């Protein structure tokens, strides 16, 4: 049995019980009480193991081991996206059942963060002396802006090399560029009084509603809309914004309902869901561009739609902006992260690939993803787990979970990865 498996399972469940989605903020708690308390819980665990820890003003923290001049980072995050709809388990219950730990953050990214901590504890117990100073860094704002990383870089030293256990196995050599844009589609003679949907810029919209003067019941039923008085409600399914095909966007049926009698709304649907200007045709070896309209609001005579765009890693953001300009509407960039791209034969990638193959018995090749990780905060950073090909998609979805079997694998794999990368 893996050392610390039971302790890690218990700690993951405890961490899940903090609703660390972004909420009301204060000077002491820059991302809200839930994120702050979750950070304190993590650092308290590490202190109890005898590690040196630091709390950087509630923005981020780190756990330090070793004293080498060169530094190595394991970058994780403790914040989560909102729970969303459709759960059959309490999203912040941390229930351990059916060989799984259930709750928001189980995979993204509390489970892997705690596995990395207990892997470091096992190395410490064995007397391992790294040649590099190891920093296990945990941020509290990865899902909504990265202010935690910006603050960390101001008050501490960010290592140049490391990995983030917030992606996929076997190892990530490239991450697409991330572009969040808010488009403003003017709507003349809007056929509704109110329209709003979505809860996070990087999560497929699972709920959208509109208030109308009168309802066309047959058409609403045909599109699967729920009618409650003078409200039309559309239900969808959450998914990560980088993989919109794994969800069901609640925005589309509701906009389609109105588009049949309003040309302005039809244009918005055609641009974003019909992709008439071919954004998703942009592609390279790291895959096609993905486009996910995730938040919509009707304000001051226009539909304001916030979209999550993941563009190919060898392309520039300018190529995307050229396509967006064809829409002919005002838009602004809300958030942008340039792509990450490394050569597949780099020493770090080959080290981690060897760890994966030894632990799983599978030959593999480095892969590219549409998701974005803290690896981008490093000059030489890559994503390393925890998801594997064939896993059920649970990140940013209802009933997120991590299996206890995967926790055991992560404990072993991260221990080996840290040891071989810092010996």
The pLDDT profile of the chain, 423 residues, written as one tens digit per residue, is 468 999 999 999 999 999 999 888 898 999 999 999 999 999 999 999 999 999 999 999 999 999 989 999 999 999 999 998 899 999 999 999 999 999 999 999 999 999 999 999 999 999 999 999 999 999 999 998 899 999 999 999 999 999 999 999 999 999 999 999 999 999 999 999 999 999 999 999 999 999 998 887 788 999 999 999 999 999 999 999 999 999 999 999 999 999 999 999 999 999 999 999 999 999 999 999 999 999 999 999 999 999 999 999 999 999 999 999 999 999 999 999 999 999 999 999 999 999 999 999 999 999 999 988 999 999 999 999 999 999 999 999 999 999 999 999 999 999 999 999 999
Q: Do domains 5-175+340-422 and 177-337 have the same CATH topology?
A: no
Beta strands in 212-362 (DSSP E): 226-228, 231-235, 283-284, 287-288, 290-299, 302-311, 330-337, 340-341
Question: Of residues 79, 168, 302, 387, which has the active-site annotation?
Answer: 79
| Cα–Cα distance measured from residue 7 to residue 414, given in angstroms and rounded to the nearest whole number | 16
**Do residues 117 and 135 make contact, with C-beta atoms less than 8 angstroms apart?**
no
Cis amide linkage into residue 170, ω under 30° from 0: yes
The domain ranges of the chain are 5-175+340-422, 177-337
Kindly give the interhelix angle for 404-422 and 5-16, rounded to the nearest 10 degrees: 110
The dotted CATH code for 177-337 is 3.30.70.360
Looking at residue 2, its pLDDT comes to 66
Q: Is 142 a catalytic residue?
A: yes
Distances 93 to 89, 90, 97, 182, 238 between C-alpha atoms, Å: 7, 5, 11, 34, 19
Phi, psi of 149 (to 5 degrees): -70, -40
Looking at residue 228, its pLDDT comes to 92
| Cα–Cα distance measured from residue 81 to residue 149, given in angstroms and rounded to the nearest whole number | 17
Question: Of residues 71, 142, 387, 400, which has the active-site annotation?
Answer: 142
| Cα–Cα distance measured from residue 19 to residue 91, given in angstroms and rounded to the nearest whole number | 9
Cis amide linkage into residue 119, ω under 30° from 0: no
User: Could you tell me the pTM of the whole model?
Assistant: 0.85
Architecture of domain 5-175+340-422: 3-Layer(aba) Sandwich (3.40)
């Amino acid at each position: 049995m893996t050392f610390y498996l039971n302790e890690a399972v218990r700690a993951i469940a405890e961490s899940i019980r903090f609703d660390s989605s972004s909420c009301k903020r204060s000077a002491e708690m820059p991302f809200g009480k839930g994120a702050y308390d979750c950070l304190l819980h993590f650092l308290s665990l590490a202190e109890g193991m005898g590690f040196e820890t630091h709390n950087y003003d509630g923005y981020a923290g780190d756990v330090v081991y070793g004293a080498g001049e060169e530094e190595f980072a394991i970058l994780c995050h403790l914040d989560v996206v909102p729970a969303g709809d459709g759960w059959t388990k309490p999203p912040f219950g941390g229930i351990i059942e059916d060989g799984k730990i259930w709750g928001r953050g189980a995979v993204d990214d509390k489970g892997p963060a705690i596995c990395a901590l207990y892997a470091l504890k096992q190395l410490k117990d064995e007397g391992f002396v790294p040649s590099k100073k190891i920093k296990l860094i945990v941020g509290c704002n990865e899902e909504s802006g990265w202010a935690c990383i910006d603050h960390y870089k101001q008050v501490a030293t960010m290592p140049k090399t490391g990995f983030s256990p917030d992606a996929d196995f076997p190892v990530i050599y490239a991450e697409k560029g991330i572009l969040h844009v808010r488009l403003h589609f003017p709507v003349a003679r809007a056929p509704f009084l109110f329209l709003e949907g979505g809860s996070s810029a990087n999560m497929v919209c699972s709920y959208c509603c509109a208030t109308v003067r009168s309802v066309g019941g047959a058409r609403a039923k045909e599109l699967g809309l729920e009618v409650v008085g003078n409200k039309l409600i559309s239900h969808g399914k959450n998914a990560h914004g980088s993989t919109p095909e794994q969800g069901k966007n609640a925005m589309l049926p509701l906009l389609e309902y109105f588009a049949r009698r309003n040309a302005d709304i039809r244009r918005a649907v055609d641009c974003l869901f019909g992709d008439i200007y071919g954004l998703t045709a942009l592609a390279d070896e790291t895959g096609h561009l993905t486009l996910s309209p995730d938040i919509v609001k009707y304000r001051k005579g226009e539909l304001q739609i916030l979209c999550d765009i993941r563009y190919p890693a060898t392309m520039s953001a300018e190529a995307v902006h050229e396509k967006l300009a064809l829409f002919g509407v005002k838009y602004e960039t809300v958030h942008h992260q340039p792509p990450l791209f490394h050569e597949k034969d780099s020493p770090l990638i080959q080290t981690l690939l060897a760890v994966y193959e030894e632990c799983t018995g599978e030959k593999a090749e480095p892969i590219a993803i549409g998701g974005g990780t803290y690896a981008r905060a490093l000059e030489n950073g890559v994503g390393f787990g925890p998801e594997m090909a064939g896993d059920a998609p649970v990140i940013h979805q209802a009933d997120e979970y991590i299996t206890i079997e995967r926790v055991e694998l992560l404990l072993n794999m991260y221990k080996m990865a840290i040891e071989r990368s810092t010996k």
